[in-house]
Amino acid sequence: MRYTAPSWLPGGNLQTIYPYLFKPRNSIHYRRERWELEDGDFIDIDWLDGPISAPLVVLFHGLEGGSKSHYVLSIMSTIQKKNWRGAVIHFRGCSGLPNRLARAYHAGDSDEINWMLHRIFWESKLLDSEIPLYTIGVSLGGNALLKWLGEQAKKAGQIVTAAAAISVPLDLAAAGAALDTGFNQFYTRHFLSTLTYKALEKLDRFPGLLDARAIAACKTLYEFDNLVTAPLHGFRNTEEYWEQSSSKPWLKYIQVPTLVINARNDPFMPASALPAQEEVSPMVTLVFPEEGGHAGFIQPPFPGKLAWLPNKIISFLQSAGS
């Protein structure tokens, strides 16, 4: 199942932008559940219900994403057609309402992933069951998921049957540098518009926590992470945050079947920073198409379909779980 980009949609940038303009029809009817956390915060989960005996797929979205992101809708639509169950777990502050605490979420938050997957596993009563639990992470969510898989090694297999990670910024320093150059600054401005708004909103509730004037003026993700992400989550600066949160060094420790898909023309992740097969565990399958952009992978005919990516993922998960 090889991905081939349509001739009318060249370039990683266009393939990344295009799905945002032509989202799949939202025929997914989620059931929302709120989890209250021990630290006083909350997260929201959007459930795609199905037969209790069906496989369960847990999805972690990308930066400022959610259950209505184009890639989530295409994956959940495929899961729905298979009569499987799905759960989209929103990171703190990403479900449409501000979270309660000063902290938010970040690319290396594997502790949060660990807690979320364990709760899903126990509440879904999967212990001593042969029902598989699959998990998918996209972009930032994929990075946090891969880091968790590497950290947990064999223990991850007690919870999940197989995993897939899509368009992942495996090397956060390389991704950050790429996003701060050329046309890619378009994406930086897009992310900063919501990230900055959320950070300034927090300052209304936590006066003096951060430098509001500097945050309002920042123009790169490096600056934002230095001013907001790093200090709110216990890192000294951007360099420490990016170094300690990158998932690439953890790929060699993964012990459950894991699919990693990154297009070589992904504007968020330079092809030169992608790992070679000898740098990852034998349990990791690397798929690096020449085209596809960032979570794009559009297929003809016009106006395009988002079928290749979910079909590739579900095929891998089903094969790994059989």
End-to-end distance of the chain based on CA atoms, in angstroms? Answer: 19
102 C-beta neighbours (distance < 10 Å), count: 16
Is residue 272 annotated as part of the catalytic site, yes or no? no
The backbone torsions φ and ψ at residue 279, rounded to the nearest 5 degrees and listed phi first, read: -95, 0
Cross-sheet strand order for the sheet of 31-36: 31-36, 42-48, 85-89, 56-60, 133-138, 162-166, 258-261, 284-287
Q: How far apart are CA 168 and CA 299, in angstroms?
A: 21
Tokens of 64: 């400022």
Query: Both tokens of residue 276?
Result: 């070679």
Is 44 annotated as catalytic?
no
CA neighbor of 266 nearest in space, from 170, 149, 148? 170
| 96 backbone dihedrals φ, ψ, rounded to 5° | 110, -10
109 annotated active-site? no
State the catalytic residue, choosing from 139, 167, 246, 247.
139
Find how far residue 79's CA is from the centre of its chain.
Answer: 17
**The one catalytic residue among 44, 46, 225, 266:** 266
Closest CA to 136 of 257, 235, 30, 271: 257
Separation CA 222–CA 289 (nearest Å) = 28
**CA-based nearest residue to 115, from 172, 228, 36, 61:** 36
Distance of CA 187 to the CA centre of its chain: 16
Does the bond joining 310 to the residue before it have cis omega, within 30 degrees of 0?
no
Which are the catalytic amino acids? 139, 266, 294
